[in-house]
Structure 1
């Protein structure tokens, strides 16, 4: 039900892509069942972001490149808008022993407002590469003994703000202990406020 027009997308200040592969937006039933043409919603999302929208991608088995590379966001128009690039193959980092996020950004960043104490354990993430640009800021990483990969990254695309969280938003990579943590609701409130320019 994602809109097929810029007018439709303009009703939203922020759009979150979580565990949905690129083909889910590219291959509308009119295309793959009936051979009809439809607008490319990945290009629309990129252009909507450039015009001032707030685009977020959350990690998971069908985010970034995903399990067996099936999420297929690598080399798409949406990837152009993100502050990271996707790997061209399965990018899952399964960490069953868990890891604690390492906060690398300034403690007074708007995304950390109201979040206190130690962050809970996470169980996995997607591996990505942060873009080497002045607008890109890595605010949290995996620990060095787990590769030091980006976890929370912000950037800009034209007039829009973009953000990625490379772990999941719920189980299994983000366990119930994280969901129950008081900082969980605050983090996602902060994310939506930041990308929509309310903060």
Structure 2
């Protein structure tokens, strides 16, 4: 029914710095953390070919040409803000014009590529609006309208996703584990809402030109993805179905 996909996952990593104070003395440590380890492993186990472009590499190494994008069936943006796609060193440090990669990604989708955005503090509107995808070429092609401000809805008590119509992505997976938060968006008239959470959109699909798009309004990893969700037997299958739906002709 579905084809296996060649996927570029951009984002979903961070570098954290910790300072420990021990009486008179202190020391600082820095480490790289990866939030998509389980997702990568599950998608690969299910037959997909996945390239992970870590967040700190996105500004310089996200594809610059359509030929580079054509190596993939699906691009996933997860917890990576729009500045990382627009403020490469050539622009920010050197003041020289370069390719607008959000516009490039839009044209690639319109010509038949596929884009998924997953939620997070630097997705959609984002924490304090810092992801800043409102009024961008990415918003143009996604099936949802994005807030210009902070769009988070924190749910520490846990909220259960609900399927609103039969569809090939969520059907047969049973009850979805609770989630601890999501981002509030508005479904465009051309979007198809497949799942909700707290009566808000959770999973929305759409078409843009010759391509397909999908918006998933919560995290693929903690904290919004609860430990129950991470341990769910269909965790990998769900995201595999998202990818294979996108990769269809």
Could you tell me which residue of structure 1 aligns to residue 88 of structure 2? Answer: 28
Q: Is the 8 A contact 1:18 1:60 kept in 2?
A: yes
SS at match of 1:110: coil
Taking only aligned residues, the RMSD between alpha carbons, in angstroms, comes to 1.0
Q: Is the 8 A contact 1:83 1:164 kept in 2?
A: yes
CA distance in 1, matches of 2:162, 2:226: 17
Shift of 1:5: 0.8
Question: Structure 1, residues 164-196: CA drift from partner, whole Å, max 9, x if none?
Answer: 100100000001210110111110110110001
Could you tell me which residue of structure 2 aligns to residue 67 of structure 1? Answer: 127
Q: Is the 8 A contact 2:102 2:137 kept in 1?
A: yes
CA distance in 1, matches of 2:189, 2:170: 23
User: Which has the higher relative contact order, 1 or 2, with Cα contacts under 8 A spaced 6 or more apart?
Assistant: 1
For residues 126-141 of structure 1, what are the structure 2 equivalents within 5 Å?
126-133=183-190, 136-141=191-196
SS at match of 1:177: helix
- Where has structure 1 moved over 2 Å in runs of 4 or more? none
Could you tell me which residue of structure 2 aligns to residue 194 of structure 1? Answer: 245
Shift of 1:142: 1.1
* Structure 2 residue corresponding to 1:168, chosen from 211, 215, 219: 219
Q: How many residues align?
A: 189
Could you tell me which residue of structure 2 aligns to residue 101 of structure 1? Answer: 161
Query: Is 2:179 aligned against 1:122?
Result: yes
Q: Is the 8 A contact 1:57 1:163 kept in 2?
A: yes
SS at match of 2:240: helix
Q: Is the 8 A contact 2:203 2:217 kept in 1?
A: yes
Q: Is the 8 A contact 2:163 2:170 kept in 1?
A: no
Question: Can you give the 5+ residue segments of structure 1 that lack an aligned partner in the other structure?
Answer: none
CA distance in 2, matches of 1:13, 1:38: 25
* Structure 1 residue corresponding to 2:169, chosen from 100, 111, 115: 111
SS at match of 2:245: helix
Deviates most, 19-28 or 3-12: 3-12
Q: Is the 8 A contact 1:68 1:89 kept in 2?
A: yes
